Structure 1
Amino acid sequence: MALLINPRNQKAIFGAAALFLVFLLFVLTPSPMSKLQSEVIADITPQDTTIAPQDTSFERVGGIPLADEEETVPHDATPVINTNENGESYIDGTAAAELDTTATPAIKEFGVEPLGGAAHADSKTSKTHSTAAATSTIGSSKADKSSNKPFYDTAEGAKAAVADKNSKSSSAASKGKSGSSKADQKSSSSSSLSSSSADISEGKIAGCSNKEEYVVMIDAGSTGSRVHVYKFDTCFSPPKLLNEDFEMLKPGLSSFDTDTKGAAKSLDPLLEVALKSVPKDKQGCTPVAVKATAGLRLLGEEKASAILKEVRRHLEDDYPFAVVEGEGISMMDGSDEGVYAWITTNYLLGNIGSSKKTPTAAVFDLGGGSTQIVFEPVDGEQMIEGEHKYEISFGGRDFTLYQYSHLGYGLMQGRRRINAAVITNALEKKVAGLTPLSELEAKDESATAKVTIQHPCLPPGVSATNVKVEMDDKKTSYLVNFESPAKSEDDPLAKTAATQCRFLAEGVLNKELECESKSCSFNGIYQPSLRHQFLPSSDMFVFSYFYDRLQPMGMPLSFTLEEMKDITNLVCAGSSYWKQYLVQPESIKELEEEPMWCEDLSFMTSLLHTGYDIPLNRELRTAKKIEGNELGWCLGASLPLLDKNSGWTCKVSSAN
């Protein structure tokens, strides 16, 4: 047949064959970088995801899986490392499983089934509220992910390649080539989201000009107190937020226990900020309120009431502000805390306060003593009746919200629960010398621990000394040293640290408790499904401790839960991985100074995924501020106080 082929065609065929052979040789020969990448992955990825039995293994305690149970959630043992066009390594939050490109971009499934169970339906009636409407110049915004650097060491390109893997690969590659400048890295740590829309204020009141009013709100939290001084222009309907001054201090009111005068005086530095922020001629007609949250509630009603009574006396006798009567100085109900945070977030985003029916964001607040969830279900009217159902009117619109405050599941309480589970396991194993503290010993701040216990939430080679652990009965406590079961990162036990810690974190959520409805979150509490009852296109905001723990690790302001799990695994893997894959030097310092960071991140990830049932690939957003205004419940609680009939009267006549 070759004799019948035109000689010119023969040359073309032979040339094509030669090129094909060269192509095969290129494809089949591994590059040095791909070989190095494979070695790194093999080095940090367990050969077997089953946790091998060991002397330090954790038996089931309150829902904690046995140490030799297989991990049921895939891709969770260690970070997955990829390489970009420039040969740079980065941690891929989605590489372990291909995204379903046919799904809605904001909520693609990873094949993880919704966590079932029923729910606790409260028989009490739902709450209905009318909240004074207000707004600001912020408007709604979607944070530009490209402006916020990720924790990956290839800067913007790596994050773009991970987050938009299937739909924006060409754009990601072009960004990846540019690398990151020092200015870019600085912008990555910005805690404030910016707005891209116009002023959402609907109109100025005719004949009104320059009518400025102030509100002072003090947040008495479990770990510290914070003051927010808000300045509004009430010539707008709804009123416009002009400025916020913010300051915080530690410790919180609850740390003073029975020292009521000391607790009240501890607020003086915050009140000095208010005195400087509010003009003297406005101070007498500026309402001040103090709202205590979960930390003070945990002290007990008698001690908490005594502290708040002294705080009220101190404000009324020693400061010029108009103290709000009744609930103005009080322990805030957990439901109000969450709803006010929802109002703050959506108000600053421009989702509420105008006549436009804009979809609203869900909020997840994580304090020290409690965590709150608030969102607007798709069919809120069909929600089971109970205290979780919260109806409000704001800016001419009616909203039916689901809200719940999980007391005892804030970050510090979550850490306490995990540590208590570790102590319980040690007691069952009859660890020598492990005895509870006496009442006198429990008050001795200088006491030193005599017993060392292995804690799977500590990275290899890390220890924590003189840790006081309060047990679930709130009466018994222990003083111990904790150490990692893995002596080094080469220790086989280091390979399962993240998995063991996650098992502990999931165990304290009590997912196995029976519920009375078809949908629940954790601890037997009813919750409409976020997978089916919340718009996929709507934002989910996580803040407070979520922000405080993630941002030092270089996480961007927008990320998936899968990426959050990856950074958790990286933190739990040990110091050599911190130094290799964390861009910011400050991140290393944070991890070296706080041995419980792996535990905290594991609890947070478990709370969002296992507790609230948020899909792994769901995009989350976080921020400390929006256009310079702090997120949290304080702004939402301050807005109603602009109403002169909201429970306060001027101490002196206002100059205006």
Structure 2
Amino acid sequence: MQMCLLRAVGWSSAAVLGVLAVAIFLLVLHPAKDAALFTRSKYGLVFDAGSTHTALYIYRWPADKENGTGIVSQVEACTVSGPGISSYADNPAGAGASLKPCLDKAMKIIPAEQQRETPTYLGATAGMRLLREQNSTKAEQVFAEVAKAISKYPVDFRGAQILTGNEEGSFGWITVNYLLETLVKYSFAEKWEHPRDTEVLGALDLGGASTQITFQPGVPIEDKNTSVFFRLYGTNYLLYTHSYLCYGQTQALKRLLAALHQDSPSHQQILHPCYPKGYQENVSMADLYNSPCVHAPSTPKPAQVLTVMGTGDPTVCTTSIQKLFNFSCGANRTCGFDGVYQPPVRGQFFAFSGLYHNLHFLNLTGGQSLSLVNVTIRQFCTSSWEKVQKEFPTMNRTHLRDACAGSFYTLTLLLQGYKFNHTTWLNIHFVRQVANIDVGWTLGYMLNLTNMIPSETPQMVIELQRSNWIAATVLLAIMLILIFCLLTVICCQKNSGYESL
């Protein structure tokens, strides 16, 4: 019997060592693989409610973060049909209803089990800023209907808000530098790192109602109202940023038309030097002066209809656009325009949104010299309406009408407004996308918000490893008892057989 027990102990010890070896292999060599099963992606939704249209951007990032900021990528972009939400001032319910098709699309992309924890935001820009100035009650009604529509979906809706001009500019700057990997980069050591000796880029944005400039200046910022501080990926950034309300393209060109009307000898006919020769349309006084950006004449006649005729005169067009700005800065002060402080532009810049579209249609976004850009635009602006329609048959009628004015407005804003020159012009890179991701403020907004989203993975890995070891210990104890008992029974049965012989 004693020999039987010794054999059982030996066999059971061998078996236990084998099981332990397998357990150690699974727990030590494969913990990362097990943890990866629990490392899921997170999603976020951001509505860009601009002055002329709204778009929904769907973002995704890993649950673990890099230096406090998630590595975010764009999954999808959905353009909302119709105008911007500020256009629904007299039909607030329409603003909410317009968002539903894009929300339906997002629900098909985000896994059902993660939808309720998906943070969802709506950021409105200059269009809603103007509506709030015009009629705060109507602005609140639009927001209420938008919130009501989004809240019907199984997402973590965190509110709709109007971004300040500085927020819009600085979030656009974050987007640009994130996409260019000047904030964080995946290194050869297979980890995310802040790149050394890398200059950040400035951001130039032109929307329908406002325009923004943001960059890291080479001198101290004198006006605290134009500075913003960010901490991203463990690094601090102090930026200059300013947003000019009413200097977005739609509002600026409306101001131009109103100025031409008020300077016109005939109060019923407007000769427009930026419209192609031969172009003609009728505009009501009510539509012309329906914006707080446009100063109405002392005795407006809303019912009056004006006839606008294009003259295609690039010289007069440029002069008329320049009159929209005040370029004087005053003594001992550097400024952009309208007396707003701005340090000298420095480094490389990305120009996007309207700045890109205004030059892209003439293939002028490929780094051409300023002289060539000027010549090309002037040639286009002398073309007749009949000729430009033949050259650009698929272009929207309104966009084609405004192409000359938009191009000259871009040059005036960048050169005389923001003080670029023939040399620094070559530092401006006109882009729409980088790595198939749209350039705008929404990605920067999402990146900044990830600082407030807790990281799950480290805790989940600890809990996973702890539970694995507990389960393995219990399992091994049970197996040890069972194997010992089994081998003891077998040994004793054989020993009884030998004794019977």
TM-score range, shorter chain: 0.7 to 0.9
1:214 is displaced (CA, Å) by 0.5
Is residue 407 from structure 1 mapped to residue 245 from structure 2 by the alignment?
Answer: yes
Instruction: Give runs of aligned pairs for residues 254-269 of structure 1, distance below 5 A.
Output: 254-269=86-101
Q: Identify the residue that residue 329 of structure 1 maps to in structure 2.
A: 160
1:244 and 1:578 map into 2 onto residues whose CA distance is: 41
Q: Identify the residue that residue 175 of structure 2 maps to in structure 1.
A: 344
1:235-269: CA deviation from partner (whole Å, max 9, x where unpaired): 35253334420011321111111322121111112
Verify the 8 A CA contact 2:72 2:447 in the aligned structure 1.
Answer: no
Unaligned runs of 5+ in 1: 1-203, 435-450, 486-493, 647-655
1:588 and 1:260 map into 2 onto residues whose CA distance is: 36
Aligned-residue identity in percent: 26
Please point out which of 308, 315, 326 is paired with 1:482: 308
Verify the 8 A CA contact 2:202 2:215 in the aligned structure 1.
Answer: yes
2:73 and 2:121 map into 1 onto residues whose CA distance is: 20
Q: Identify the residue that residue 368 of structure 2 maps to in structure 1.
A: 559
2:113 and 2:452 map into 1 onto residues whose CA distance is: 17
Please point out which of 214, 222, 247 is paired with 2:51: 222
2:97 maps to a residue whose letter is K
Please point out which of 417, 420, 425 is paired with 2:255: 417
1:388 and 1:630 map into 2 onto residues whose CA distance is: 26
1:410 and 1:385 map into 2 onto residues whose CA distance is: 23
1:567 is displaced (CA, Å) by 2.9
2:165 maps to a residue whose letter is G
SS of aligned partner of 2:224: coil
2:228 and 2:129 map into 1 onto residues whose CA distance is: 22
Verify the 8 A CA contact 1:222 1:295 in the aligned structure 2.
Answer: yes
Instruction: Give runs of aligned pairs for residues 178-257 of structure 1, distance below 5 A.
Output: 207-208=35-36, 210-235=39-64, 237=66, 238-249=69-80, 250-257=82-89
Q: Identify the residue that residue 165 of structure 1 maps to in structure 2.
A: none
1:577 is displaced (CA, Å) by 11
The answer to which structure, 1 or 2, has the higher relative contact order (CA under 8 A, 6+ apart) is: 1
1:385 and 1:505 map into 2 onto residues whose CA distance is: 28
1:620-654: CA deviation from partner (whole Å, max 9, x where unpaired): 212211111110000011123334559xxxxxxxx
Please point out which of 162, 186, 206 is paired with 1:366: 206
1:464 is displaced (CA, Å) by 3.4
Q: Identify the residue that residue 632 of structure 1 maps to in structure 2.
A: 440
SS of aligned partner of 1:400: strand
SS of aligned partner of 2:373: helix
Unaligned runs of 5+ in 2: 1-31, 185-192, 455-463, 465-501
Q: Identify the residue that residue 230 of structure 2 maps to in structure 1.
A: 392
1:572 maps to a residue whose letter is C
2:164 maps to a residue whose letter is D
1:644 and 1:206 map into 2 onto residues whose CA distance is: 27
1:394 and 1:642 map into 2 onto residues whose CA distance is: 10
Is residue 595 from structure 1 mapped to residue 398 from structure 2 by the alignment?
Answer: no
Please point out which of 299, 314, 338 is paired with 2:149: 314
Report the structure number with the largest CA radius of gyration. 2
1:455-497: CA deviation from partner (whole Å, max 9, x where unpaired): 1112222333336422733685664221134xxxxxxxx6xx1
TM-score calculated relative to the size of structure 1: 0.57
Verify the 8 A CA contact 1:292 1:330 in the aligned structure 2.
Answer: yes
Question: Over the residues paired in the alignment, what is the CA RMSD in angstroms?
Answer: 2.7
Q: Go from structure 1 to structure 2 and tell me whether the alpha carbon gap of 1:560 and 1:637 turns closer, same or farther (over 3 Å shift).
A: farther
SS of aligned partner of 1:525: coil
Is residue 356 from structure 1 mapped to residue 195 from structure 2 by the alignment?
Answer: yes
Q: Go from structure 1 to structure 2 and tell me whether the alpha carbon gap of 1:519 and 1:206 turns closer, same or farther (over 3 Å shift).
A: farther
1:219 maps to a residue whose letter is D
Q: Identify the residue that residue 9 of structure 2 maps to in structure 1.
A: none
1:275 and 1:559 map into 2 onto residues whose CA distance is: 43
2:34 and 2:244 map into 1 onto residues whose CA distance is: 45
SS of aligned partner of 1:508: coil
Q: Which moved more, 1:465-474 or 1:596-605?
A: 465-474
Please point out which of 271, 280, 289 is paired with 2:112: 280
Q: Identify the residue that residue 571 of structure 1 maps to in structure 2.
A: 380
1:389 maps to a residue whose letter is S
2:121 and 2:231 map into 1 onto residues whose CA distance is: 22
Q: Identify the residue that residue 87 of structure 1 maps to in structure 2.
A: none
